[in-house]
């Protein structure tokens, strides 16, 4: 499988601004398994003071937070969506972000790139980060 070159991406200053402005982060694909990257990243972000919202098909709570099955089910504002799913799923995720109308940041984790979805997110007014770990970026800032 080929990975697209991440041509649609926020620069370092925009990434800094992202972490200074967001408060709530929906984690799409947040696993309850503590050994998984999604769990470790979400736990780190939670410990850094961000409200994390697990999106996962099973479980009732993860990291002490209510689990939602989809973005559209969340009954309060979401600032950022952090995605731990395959690139082909990003089109559906970006459509859910647009349907919500409140998502400011569309973030695809390391190894995840879908330029078509990223461009749609950018055109809808979201900041976009692809192929980058939010925990590592936060630690570097």
Position 130 pLDDT exceeds 70 = yes
Summarised one tens digit per residue, pLDDT across range 61-116 is: 999 999 999 999 999 999 999 999 999 999 999 999 999 999 999 999 999 999 99
104 touches 129 (CB < 8 A): no
- Residue spans of the domains in the chain: they are 12-140
Mean pLDDT, rounded, for 109-137? 95
Tell me how crowded residue 115 is: count the other CB atoms within 10 A of its CB.
Answer: 18
Query: Rounded to an integer, what distance in angstroms lies between the CA atom of residue 12 and that of residue 35?
Result: 28
CATH superfamily of 12-140: NAD(P)-binding Rossmann-like Domain (3.40.50.720)
In this structure, what token pair is assigned to residue 68? Answer: 């939602």
Give the pTM: 0.93
Q: Is the pLDDT of residue 1 over 70?
A: no
């Amino acid at each position: 499988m080929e990975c697209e070159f991440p041509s649609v991406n926020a620069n370092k200053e925009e990434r800094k601004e992202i972490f200074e402005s967001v408060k709530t982060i929906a984690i799409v694909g947040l696993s309850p398994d503590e050994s998984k990257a999604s769990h470790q990243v979400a736990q780190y972000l939670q410990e850094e003071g961000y409200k994390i919202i697990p999106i996962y098909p099973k479980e009732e709570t993860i990291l002490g937070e209510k689990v939602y099955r989809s973005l559209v089910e969340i009954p309060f504002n979401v600032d950022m969506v952090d995605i731990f799913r395959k690139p082909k799923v990003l089109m559906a995720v970006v459509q859910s972000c647009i349907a919500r109308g409140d998502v400011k940041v569309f973030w695809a984790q390391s190894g995840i790139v879908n330029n078509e979805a990223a461009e749609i997110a950018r055109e809808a007014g979201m900041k976009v980060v692809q192929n980058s770990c939010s925990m590592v970026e936060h630690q570097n800032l």
